[in-house]
Chains A and B, each alone.
Chain A
Amino acid sequence: MTVTSNAPRRATVPQAPTRKRRVSRLRIRNTLLGLSFIAPNFIGFATLTLVPVIVMFYMSLSNWNIFGTSTFIGLDNFTRLAGDGSFRRAFFNTLYYAGLHIPLTIVVSLSLAILLNNKLRGVAFFRTAAFFPYITSIVAIALVWNLLFSPDYGPVNEILRFFGLSNPPGWLTSPDWSMPAVVIVSTWRDMGYYMVLFLAGLQTVPRELHEAARVDGANVWQRFVNVTLPCLRPTMFFVVVILTINSFKIFDLILVMTRGGPGQSTTVISQFIYRKGFEENEFGYASAAAVVLFFLCIIVTIIQFLWNKRREI
């Protein structure tokens, strides 16, 4: 690393042409060195992500069933999407899922993080326990939660009945409750991961600020709102952005838990894309839906960035 820090210093002495040549050679060498560091990652990213994404934008304007050549059909796919009741349903369901999942996950994981930030006996154990769902196989999670939510024999409804609820919801078998049920499971699964992020953020909150607030007579809630939350803003921003994108992209959990049912009550955009593309071989139409999802993610992220920037000043 000494080479890189020396380079600009030497370059500031513009003298003999021999030295100049050496400097430029050094610069080229440094550039090549830098590129060679980036290359392994970039080549993988370009072949597996960048090129397919660019191709997807073209495919969304074409009619392609994977074999042979595609025909360019302009914006036809998008006008068809706008009139497609199933897509509108999937779009709404995606927003519904995100609207429920994002705030719930933030509240739960932040509460867990604050709780486990204290010096408790066995805190390491509880932190690990909370992280466990995140590293568990999603198929196993779906299987177990399906059993837990079973309307007639499931423990969840057994407990609800024990507490006097005579007519507990059908959970995954009811169109009104299937999405909340999926949100409960995904919150349970994700909370450990975001808890770790919040725990890291909480370490950066200066103890002195808390002490000063306490001296000024602030109670626990006031200290949380006026000290902890503002100090957590960078972490919170990161969590919200990642959580939002992940919520819009939700796919695997729904596929293994409900397959979008009952009816279309849990069909989301990713699943719509999968169905149209890989089941019905309408790759052009599926790409158009993917483009919509892409813009949904990017617009929301840009809004979050702008909002964060305004708060920063």
Chain B
Amino acid sequence: MNTRIIASAAALAAGTLVLASCGGSGGDADGSGDATTLSVAGWSVATTPEFQLLADGFEAQNEGVTVNIVDYDPSEYNTLLTADLAAGSGPDIITQKEVKFVTTFQEGGQLADVSDVSLPAGIGGAESYVVDGVTYATPYRQDAWVLFYNADLFDEAGVDTPDGTWTWDDYEEAARQIADNTDVNGTYQHSWQSVLQGFANAQSPGADLLSGEYGYFAPFYERVLRMQDDGLQESYNTVTANQLTYQGEFGRQRAAMLPMGTWFVATLISQQAAGEADDFTWGIAPIPQFDASTTGMDNTPVTFGDPTGFAVNAALEGEKAELAKKFLAYAASEEAAVALAEIGIMPAALSDAVVDAYFGSEGAPTDELSAFAVQTHDTKPENPTSNRTTAIQNILNDMHSAILSGSTDVDSAIAEAEQRVANEVAAD
């Protein structure tokens, strides 16, 4: 055995390893002072066209400016972005995918004050980015939760389609009639905690996620448990065990109604066009209301939804910081909003032009109620901007699975969640 060869081979292997461990750091973001290049954090760029659209639009407006999109894995977006920022190599524009992480970045000193960026009047979701009176991000996209319905199945069951006056009682009644008169489920409720808790938080009088008192969830849970037991909708246990998808359940006409976010509009249109979903007539109605005081087309229905927004990296200075703020203003503008609406994305700034563009694509519903449902709503934030939100949402998610799986009764599960929030979540 030639020891020299072995020794040099081992040394080579060691050297390679050292090099490999050094070369691993990401060169994603350019922290350079180059004032004509912006890097924007994004995710699944191939299937999420909004980033490229905004980048192209901004480049067209500003000659000589280049916008690079940094592509992150969507499921680990916040973790990866946090790691990059902590290492000092974060992107210039820090896209806020979920509102509950805003305070993490803000308290960590990563976000610049963008209070001076001018926004179109009436833009939705802007207040979600305000902490102690300072704005740390601006919204460009805001989905809201609405009720999708299958008009063909309503006809088959001889039930009147939603007319914008529904409370949750009307919704339950319609589901019951459809389940009785056809062989499909009245409605489909996905397993996410949002689908139930979001409405309870937005609509119940005096509801406050941060208050630590959750009795207001009880009527919402009791209704869903009753609907599950009566076979008006697929049970939570079946939804989770069989990993049902809401696209499949509604698109394949196994349920006549679906409470879901407006992002599903674009998906449903493309799935019907591609034959992945059945061909049927569908529409959008405002989400059912807590009581009659907010129903009808002369009122503003209350729903919930969180914005998606852009923030500026606090490390930027001078001209580059100004350019970044310019990008924020562009992304929130009506011009960008119309462009986003044309590709089926619900922008934060809503106007008639935006709604026309949104429903302009083939296969979109054309009725008045659908346009009303998309354009008119009082959208409450799903996640209040607080450093306690994530911990509380985790506890409420445990409560959600405990109640809907039928393993704990509503009152004890709520009492346990209240106790856990009191004991485990720091007061502030």
The interface of chain A, by Cβ under 8 A from chain B, is 1-3, 32-33, 36-37, 39-40, 43-44, 47, 65-68, 83-86, 143, 146-147, 149-154, 170, 172-175, 259-265, 267, 275, 278-281
Contacts and interface: CB of A to CB of B under 8 A. Distances in A.
Interface of B: 1, 3, 6-7, 10-11, 13-14, 17-18, 21, 79, 82, 85-86, 104-105, 107-110, 235-238, 240-243, 390-391, 394, 398-399, 401-402, 405-408, 413, 416, 419-420, 423-424
Nearest to A154: B241
A184 B3 CA distance: 51
Given A66-B86, A170-B405, A279 B390 contact: yes
Given A66-B108, A174-B407, A153 B11 contact: no
Contacts of B402: 175, 261-264
A281 B241 contact: no
A-B complex: 7 closest residue pairs judged by Cβ atoms:
A67-B108, A263-B402, A261-B401, A150-B241, A36-B10, A262-B405, A39-B14
Given A85-B424, A173-B407, A43 B390 contact: no
Q: Quick one: which of A143, A151, A173 has the most chain B CB within 10 A?
A: A173
Nearest to A83: B423
B416 to A, nearest CB: 8
Nearest to A48: B21
Nearest to B108: A67
25 contacts: A32-B7, A36-B10, A44-B17, A65-B104, A65-B108, A66-B82, A66-B108, A68-B108, A85-B420, A86-B424, A143-B243, A146-B241, A146-B243, A147-B241, A150-B238, A170-B405, A173-B236, A259-B401, A261-B398, A263-B408, A263-B413, A264-B402, A278-B79, A279-B394, A280-B391
B107 A175 contact: no
A68 B13 contact: no
Nearest to B10: A36
Contact of B14 (A1, A43, A173, A265): A43
A67 B85 contact: yes
Contacts of A86: 420, 424
Contacts of B6: 33
A150 B424 contact: no
Contact of B423 (A84, A146, A175): A84
A2 to B, nearest CB: 8
Contacts of A260: 398
A261 B406 CA distance: 12
A36 B407 contact: no
A280 B100 CA distance: 10
Nearest to A152: B238
Given A33-B7, A262-B407, A281 B17 contact: no
Given A44-B17, A85-B423, A261 B405 contact: yes
Contacts of A37: 10
A23 B394 CA distance: 66
Contact of A1 (B1, B235, B401, B406): B1
Nearest to B83: A66
Contacts of A83: 423
B75 to A, nearest CB: 12
Contacts of B13: 39-40
B241 A263 contact: no
Nearest to A85: B423
Given A39-B11, A83-B423, 15 more contacts: A33-B6, A36-B10, A84-B424, A85-B420, A152-B235, A170-B407, A172-B241, A174-B405, A175-B408, A259-B401, A261-B405, A262-B407, A263-B399, A264-B402, A279-B390
A299 B66 CA distance: 57
Given A173-B407, A263-B407, A36 B7 contact: yes
A150 B237 contact: yes
Q: Quick one: which of B110, B243, B405 has the most chain A CB within 10 A?
A: B405
Nearest to A4: B3
A67 B86 contact: yes
B407 A152 contact: no
A36 B108 CA distance: 42
A43 B18 contact: yes
Contacts of A44: 17, 21
Contacts of B108: 65-68
A279 B394 CA distance: 9
Contact of B109 (A2, A47, A67, A280): A67
Nearest to B388: A280
B242 A150 contact: yes
A281 B82 contact: yes
B237 A39 contact: no
Contacts of B398: 260-261, 263-264, 267
Nearest to A67: B108
Contacts of B406: 170, 173
B407 A265 contact: yes
Contacts of A3: 3
Nearest to A259: B401
Contacts of B391: 280
Nearest to A146: B241
B66 to A, nearest CB: 28
Contacts of B11: 36, 39
B407 A153 contact: no
A153 to B, nearest CB: 7
A170 B237 contact: yes
Nearest to B238: A152
Contacts of B10: 33, 36-37, 39-40
